[in-house]
Chains A and B, each alone.
Chain A
Amino acid sequence: MTNRALEGIRVVELAGFVAGPYAAKLLGHMGADVIKVEPPGGDMARRMGPFKGDDPHSEKSGLFFYLNAEKRGVTLDLRQPQGMALFHQLLKEADVLIEDSSPEVRRELGLGYDDLKAVNPRLVVTSITPFGLSGPYKDYKAYYLNTFHSGGEGYCTPGSLGWILYSDRPPIKTAGFLGEHDVGVCAANATMGALHFAEVNGVGQQVEVSKQEALANIIRYDLAVHNLGYNESRASRMFPIGGLIQCQNGFVMVMPIERHMWDGVLDLMGDPEWLRDEKYDYDRIARSLMLTEEDVRQGMKDREDVNSFLQEWALEHTKEEIFHSLQERHCLCGMVFDAHDLVNSAQVQHRGYFVEIEHPVVGRVKMPGAPFKHSGTPWAVERPAPLLGQHNEDILLGQLGHSREELVRWRQAGVI
C-alpha cells in the first residue's frame, strides 16, 4: 500500500517565479507526479538569486532549486502549434493544471478554462492571477511588490518599534517572497478542494485564485479591527508590554500576554525596584492588551516606561539567555532567529527540519523540508529540481510515446 497521499495524481505546472511553482511543489512532496512545463528560455526564477557560490548560472538558483524540487521538467514553446499539441497531450493525461498566465497570453494561446475543458473535462484548472479573472482590476498589471501591497499587510508593516523608529518611511513588504509563497499554499488548498470534488463527482472545474484575495485572508485576523471602527495601520500595532526588545546580541519578542507571564519576566529580572510604583501594575497597563489604537494610546506612556526598563535590562543579556529563561518560566517569548541560528538550533535539528538533497549541478544543498509531519504519508523529497528540459525525453518519448526522430525535429525547430 502506498505511503504517499497524492500517489497517482498527475499535475502539469505552467507557471513561473514563486506562487504557482510553490503550489505544485506542495502537491509533489505529498506524492503527486508534477511535470513542470517551461518555455525554452526557462522559468524566470532560474535567473534570480541566491546562486550557489554567487555563480549566476541558470541551474544554480537557490530560489528555483527550492521551489521546484520533486518535479520533472519539460520545455515547450506553446506559441508553436506542435508545442501546444504536446501540451494538450500532457493535459489529457493529467488531473490538474496549475497556471499563472497573463490575461493576454491566456487569450492568445487558448489557455482559458473552456479551451482546456474541451481537451480534458476531468481536468482541474487552477489559475493564479493578481486580481482574479473578473472585476475592474482583472487586467491590471502587478508584480509581486504590488500584489503584496494590495493585500493589506504591507500597509501595516513595520508596526510597533519599526513604526516608532521609521515613521517617515514607506510601508514595506515582508521577507523574501513571502506573499507569493502564501498565495502558493492557498492555491494548493483550492486545488486540493477541486481534487476532492473531482474524486466524488468525476468532473474537473475551474479554480480561481486572486493573489489579492489570498493575501487579504492572510491578514484577516489583524484587519478585524475594522469592525470596531479602526483602520489598522503601522501606528496601531503595539504591544502594551514587551514586543520587540533589543538585547546584547540581537533581538527577542517578549509577549507577557497574561499576568503570570509578566511575573516570569519580573522573576528573571530579579524583582526590580521600579515595580513598587503602582502605575506600572500589569493589569493597569495590560487593560489595553492587543486592543485598539485608542486603548493603546491611553496606556502608552506607562507602557513606554516599562518597556524602557525592560530594554535597559535586556541589553545586558543575550537573546539565547532571555529566550530560554523566559520560556522556562512559561512566558511567551521568541528569539529573533537569523538563518544561522535556525540551521544550528537544537530543536530545529531534532525535528530534522532541514533536508539535504543532491543536485547534479549545485551539489548537496540543505533546504527547509516538511512543513507538516504526517504519520502515515510523510512529506518526501525524492528528486531535486529539474535541469532545463531534463525530462524531455523521458516524458515525450516514454510517457507520450513519440519517436526519437520527432524529438530531434522538435528540438531543431525550437519547439522543445
Chain B
Amino acid sequence: MATQPLEGIRALDFSREAAAPYSAMMLSFLGAEVVKVESKAKMGVVGRRMGFRYVDFNLNKLQVTLDLTHPKGVELAKRLIAISDVVIESNRPGAFGRLGLSYDEVKKVKPDIIMLSHSGFGQTGPESEYLGAAPVFAATSGLSYYTGYPDGIPTELRGTPDMRSGQYCAFAILAALFHRRRTGQGQFIDVAGRETNGAAIGDVLLDYTMNQRSQDRRANRDYTMAPHNCYRCQGENKWVSIAVATDEEWQALCRAIGQPELAGDPRFADGLRRWENQEELDLIIEEWTLQYTDYQVMDTLQQAGVAAVPSMSSDELFTDPHLTERGFIHSLNYSDYDWLPDTPKPASDDILHFGMPWKLHSCPDAVRGRAPYYGEHNYYVFGEMLGMGREEIAALEREGAIA
C-alpha cells in the first residue's frame, strides 16, 4: 500500500521564478519525487538575490545543475526525462523548444510524459512572447484594477499571483496524471499566469460580459454585510477584521462592546440600515477596538459569536497559537546550506516555513526536508538515478554541461 498519493511519480522541474516551482512543490506535498534542474552558471542577479524566498517554495526537492545551452546539458536533461513522469518549465514561450526540448522532442524520449509550460500570456497568440511576472499577471488579468479603495487607484499585487497560478498548474498536472493512470496517455499543458489569475474573479468579469459594467473597487466592503471592515487596534499597525451578517450577531456585537443600547438605535436597526450607515458604524466600532489588541478583540467577539479575526501579519502567522498547534509552522535547519553569495542571509539557521495547504488524514505530513542548494544532488541524481560514474560526472562538470 502506497503511503502517499503520488508515490513513484517523478517530476522534473525546469521552471524559473515562483509560479511553476510552487506547483512542483505541491506535487511533492503529495509524495512525488521532484528534481529541480537549473543552471547555477546561468543564474541571473535577481535569482541569486531571491535565495531566501527560493528556499520557501522549493522544499522537498532534489536539485541538479545543468547548463541547457550546452549540448551535453540537453542530452543529460533528456536522460532524466526518460525516467520521469512530469516535466515542468516556465521559460519564455519557444525558448525551451529552441534548446531542443519542445514537447515533441520530449515526447520522443518519453511518450507518456506530461509536460507543462507556464508563461505570462500563453504559448500561442500575438503577445505570447511578452514577459510575465506575478505583478504583471495581476495587472493584466483585472486583479489589480479591481483591488483598492472605492475612491482610489488600482493595486500592485506581489507574489500571490505566482502562487495562485502555481496552484492551477498543480491541478492541471494532477488531472492529467489521473488520466494517464487510466489510459496510459500523456499530454502537453499550456498555462498562462494572466489566465489563471483572471479565472479567480469570474463574477467581477461577468458583470461586464452580462451588463457591460466595470465594477467599482470595494476595499473591504460587502454587498450586504455591515459592519464589514478592518478596524485599528492597540499597537503599531494592528488591525482586526469584523463581519456581521445577521441581527443576532449585531445584537451580540453591541453587548460585547458594552453598548447594548446601540442595538435599538434606528440607524442600525436592520441589515439594510447598517449597510447604509456603515461609515458611522465603523467609527463607533473602531473607538472600541482601539482599546484592545487584535487578538483580544478576536477572543472577546468570538466568544460572543461574532466573526472577528486579526488581519494577520507575518509575525502573527508564524507565532499564531492555532497554526502552531495544528503543526502548520515548520522549522527546518539550514546550517549546512550553501547560500549563493548575493543572497541576503536569514537571521537564523533555523528557517520557518508554512506547511502544506491541506491535510490528507490517511497520509503522513509530507514536508520532508529543507530546500536544496545548487548542485546539492548532482552526484545522487546523475550517479544513482542515471548510473553515471564519478569520473563521467566530473568530466561533464569540466566541460561546463553540469554547471
Q: Is B109 an interface residue (CB 8 A)?
A: no
Q: Is B156 an interface residue (CB 8 A)?
A: yes
Query: A63-82: contact bitstring with B at CB < 8 Å (1 yes, 0 no)?
Result: 10111000000000000000
Binds A, one of B67-75, B174-182, B383-391, B394-402: B174-182
Q: Which residue of B lies closest to A199 (CB)?
A: B181
Residues on A with C-beta less than 8 A from B132 are: 332, 334
Binds B, one of A187-195, A302-310, A397-405: A187-195
CA–CA, A346 and B130, complex, Å = 13
Q: Are A192 and B174 in contact (CB under 8 A)?
A: yes
Q: Is A39 an interface residue (CB 8 A)?
A: no
Q: Are A172 and B170 in contact (CB under 8 A)?
A: no
Query: B310-354: contact bitstring with A at CB < 8 Å (1 yes, 0 no)?
Result: 111111011001110110100000000000000011111001111
CA–CA, A53 and B361, complex, Å = 45
Q: Which residue of B lies closest to A125 (CB)?
A: B361
CA–CA, A106 and B22, complex, Å = 33
Q: Are B358 and A207 in contact (CB under 8 A)?
A: yes
Q: Is A412 an interface residue (CB 8 A)?
A: no
Count of A interface residues, CB-CB < 8 Å: 155
CA–CA, A10 and B169, complex, Å = 22
CA–CA, A290 and B22, complex, Å = 19
Partner among A136, A146, A336 whose Cβ is within 8 Å of the Cβ of B144: A336
Residues on B with C-beta less than 8 A from A291 are: 49, 344
Residues on B with C-beta less than 8 A from A219 are: 159-160, 163
Q: Are A158 and B170 in contact (CB under 8 A)?
A: no
Give the contacts of B179-194 with A (CB-CB under 8 A): 179, 181-183, 185-192
CA–CA, A221 and B168, complex, Å = 16
Q: Are A159 and B158 in contact (CB under 8 A)?
A: yes
| Known contacts A175-B143, A185-B171, A366-B209; A208/B358 CB under 8 A | yes
Measured CB to CB, the closest approach of chain B to A190, in angstroms, equals 4
Q: Is A338 an interface residue (CB 8 A)?
A: yes
Residues on A with C-beta less than 8 A from B49 are: 289-291
CA–CA, A227 and B357, complex, Å = 20
Q: Are A162 and B148 in contact (CB under 8 A)?
A: yes
Q: Is A123 an interface residue (CB 8 A)?
A: no
CA–CA, A255 and B130, complex, Å = 13
Partner among A131, A173, A232, A371 whose Cβ is within 8 Å of the Cβ of B199: A371
Classify chain B's interface size. 35 or more
Partner among B125, B155, B163 whose Cβ is within 8 Å of the Cβ of A347: B125
Q: Are A373 and B190 in contact (CB under 8 A)?
A: yes
Query: A359-396: contact bitstring with B at CB < 8 Å (1 yes, 0 no)?
Result: 00010011110111111110000000000000000000
Q: Are A177 and B203 in contact (CB under 8 A)?
A: yes
CA–CA, A67 and B56, complex, Å = 32
Interface centre among A30, A166, A173, A291 (most CB of B within 10 A): A173
Partner among A8, A131, A235, A371 whose Cβ is within 8 Å of the Cβ of B168: A371
Residues on A with C-beta less than 8 A from B326 are: 132, 134-135, 210, 213
Q: Are A150 and B312 in contact (CB under 8 A)?
A: yes
Q: Is B84 an interface residue (CB 8 A)?
A: no
Q: Is A318 an interface residue (CB 8 A)?
A: no
Q: Which residue of A lies closest to B51 (CB)?
A: A224
CA–CA, A91 and B221, complex, Å = 38
Binds A, one of B35-43, B228-236, B267-275: B228-236
Q: Is A197 an interface residue (CB 8 A)?
A: yes
Q: Is B88 an interface residue (CB 8 A)?
A: no
Q: Are B127 and A346 in contact (CB under 8 A)?
A: yes
Q: Are A154 and B18 in contact (CB under 8 A)?
A: no
Partner among A2, A135, A194, A227 whose Cβ is within 8 Å of the Cβ of B325: A135
Residues on B with C-beta less than 8 A from A253 are: 135-136, 138-139, 144, 156
CA–CA, A221 and B18, complex, Å = 8
Q: Are B136 and A141 in contact (CB under 8 A)?
A: no
Q: Are A189 and B358 in contact (CB under 8 A)?
A: yes
Q: Are B360 and A338 in contact (CB under 8 A)?
A: no
Residues on A with C-beta less than 8 A from B162 are: 221
Binds A, one of B239-247, B258-266, B374-382: B239-247
Q: Are A141 and B307 in contact (CB under 8 A)?
A: yes
Q: Are A375 and B357 in contact (CB under 8 A)?
A: no
Q: Which residue of A lies closest to B210 (CB)?
A: A52
Residues on A with C-beta less than 8 A from B96 are: none
Give the contacts of A184-231 with B (CB-CB under 8 A): 185-190, 192-197, 199-201, 203, 205-210, 212-214, 216-231
Q: Are A159 and B203 in contact (CB under 8 A)?
A: no
Interface centre among A1, A147, A253 (most CB of B within 10 A): A253
Give the contacts of B116-165 with A (CB-CB under 8 A): 121-122, 124-128, 130-149, 152-160, 162-164
Q: Are A197 and B2 in contact (CB under 8 A)?
A: yes
Partner among B143, B207, B213, B313 whose Cβ is within 8 Å of the Cβ of A174: B143
Residues on A with C-beta less than 8 A from B309 are: 140, 142, 146-147, 149-150
Q: Which residue of B lies closest to A356 (CB)?
A: B209
Q: Which residue of B lies closest to A372 (CB)?
A: B172
Q: Is B359 an interface residue (CB 8 A)?
A: yes
Give the contacts of B196-234 with A (CB-CB under 8 A): 196, 198-211, 213-215, 217, 219-220, 222-223, 225, 228-232
CA–CA, A237 and B155, complex, Å = 11
CA–CA, A251 and B352, complex, Å = 36
Residues on A with C-beta less than 8 A from B201 are: 175-178, 181
Residues on B with C-beta less than 8 A from A336 are: 139-140, 144-145, 154
Measured CB to CB, the closest approach of chain B to A246, in angstroms, equals 7
Q: Is B106 an interface residue (CB 8 A)?
A: no
Residues on A with C-beta less than 8 A from B5 are: 193-197, 200
Q: Are A201 and B135 in contact (CB under 8 A)?
A: no
CA–CA, A246 and B156, complex, Å = 12
Q: Is B363 an interface residue (CB 8 A)?
A: yes
Q: Is B373 an interface residue (CB 8 A)?
A: no
Q: Are B213 and A50 in contact (CB under 8 A)?
A: yes
Measured CB to CB, the closest approach of chain A to B66, in angstroms, equals 22
Interface centre among A143, A194, A207, A255 (most CB of B within 10 A): A143
Q: Are A375 and B187 in contact (CB under 8 A)?
A: yes
Q: Is A48 an interface residue (CB 8 A)?
A: yes
Residues on A with C-beta less than 8 A from B348 are: 227
CA–CA, A223 and B56, complex, Å = 9
Residues on B with C-beta less than 8 A from A370 are: 195
CA–CA, A328 and B304, complex, Å = 58
Residues on A with C-beta less than 8 A from B360 are: 190, 193-194, 197, 205-208
Measured CB to CB, the closest approach of chain A to B275, in angstroms, equals 14
Q: Are B153 and A165 in contact (CB under 8 A)?
A: yes
Q: Are A342 and B172 in contact (CB under 8 A)?
A: no
Q: Are B164 and A218 in contact (CB under 8 A)?
A: yes
CA–CA, A6 and B223, complex, Å = 36
With A197-B2, A343-B209 given, name 13 new contacts (CB 8 A).
A63-B206, A146-B308, A152-B313, A157-B147, A162-B149, A172-B230, A174-B160, A178-B143, A209-B357, A213-B354, A214-B357, A255-B135, A367-B205
Nearest 3 Cβ contacts at the A-B interface: A221-B159, A334-B139, A376-B187
Between-chain CB contacts (< 8 Å), 20 pairs: A50-B215, A63-B206, A135-B325, A159-B158, A170-B220, A178-B201, A186-B358, A188-B171, A195-B178, A203-B362, A217-B357, A228-B52, A258-B45, A332-B132, A334-B135, A367-B202, A370-B195, A374-B172, A374-B187, A377-B179
